[in-house]
Structure 1
Amino acid sequence: MAEVSAEARIDAPTEKVWATLTDFSRYGEWNATHTNFPQGAPTSLEAGGRFEENMKLMGFPAEVTWTVEDLEAARTLAIRGKGPMGVNVGTRYTLTPDGEATTVRIDGEFTGAAVSLMAGKLKDSATAALNESLRKLNGLVT
């Protein structure tokens, strides 16, 4: 298993950050691992909903089928996905109001036999991608 996380304070109200974070037509503008949505960007989110995403991490392309596990508007979005080589991926976005700003935390988890072979490099690459994503998200909403 490999677990990663990153957190940033964004100088924008939680609702504005949430609107950008869940606008999947703009996902590629800030998400550093996103390549495309092969069946089109999701237009709505609901618990149990599914969508497919093409990603790139550590230079390797991967298609992930995501399921929305937890959704609380302007607070939490948790998705769990199945990728190639038996790798399972979990991502949780948590937004916390901080005065006129918002603290955004992204937690990621990778499990599966292939993960144990490359856990160290995967953690480094995924952590860098999370930090870059938060930097880009900040640029979009502020």
Structure 2
Amino acid sequence: MAEVSAEARIEAPAEKVWGRLTDFSSYGEWNATHTSFPRGGPAELELAATYEENMKLMGFPAEVMWTVDGLEEGRLLATRGKGPMGVNLAMRYSLTPEGDATTMRIDGEFTGAAVSLMGGKLKDSATAALQESLRKLGGLVTS
């Protein structure tokens, strides 16, 4: 298993950060691993909603089928996904309002046989991607 996380204080209210986080049409503007949603994001953002995402992890393309398994409007978006080579993923985006600013934390988890073969490199690559994503997201909502 590989676990990764990143956290940043974003100088924008949580509603604005949440709006960008859940605007699936703009993921390419900030999410460092995202390449496309072949059929668009989830039709309705609700528990058990599913959607497919094409990603790039460690420079390799990956297709992931996501299911929303945690949702608290303005505060939490948690998903579980099935990727290539039996890899399972979990992503948790949590927002903590702090007046006119927001602390956003992203936690990710990768499990499966292939993960044990590339655990260290995957962890480093995914952590760097999360940090870059938070930096880009922060730039979009504060400009």
The SS at the match of 2:128 is helix
Shift of 1:42: 2.8
Gaps of 5+ in 2: none
TM-score, scaled relative to structure 1: 0.98
Structure 1 residues without counterparts, runs of 5 or longer: none
Q: Distance in 1 between matches of 2:39 and 2:24?
A: 12
For residue 118 of structure 1, give the secondary structure of its aligned residue in structure 2. helix
Query: Is the contact between residue 24 and residue 43 of structure 1 (CA under 8 Å) also seen in structure 2?
Result: no
Contact 1:96/1:103 (<8 A) preserved? yes
Secondary structure at 2:124's aligned position in 1? helix
The one-letter code matched in structure 1 to 2:14 is: T
SS at structure 2 position matched to 1:46: coil
Q: 2:90: which partner in 1?
A: 90
After superposing on structure 2, the runs of 4+ consecutive aligned residues of structure 1 that deviate more than 4 Å are none
Letter in 2 for 1:133: S
Partner of 1:56: 56
Report Cα offsets for 1:71-128 as digits up to 9, x if no partner. 0000000000000000000000000011210000000000000000000000000000
Aligned positions, number: 142
How far, CA to CA, are the matches of 2:44 and 2:141 in structure 1?
A: 20
Letter in 1 for 2:122: L
Whether 2:45 is the aligned partner of 1:45: answer yes
Aligned equivalent of 2:19: 19
Q: Give 1:68's aligned residue.
A: 68
Q: Equivalent pairs: percent with the same residue? A: 77
Which residue of 2 is the match for residue 107 of structure 1? 107
| Aligned CA-pair RMSD | 0.7
Name the counterpart of 1:36: 36
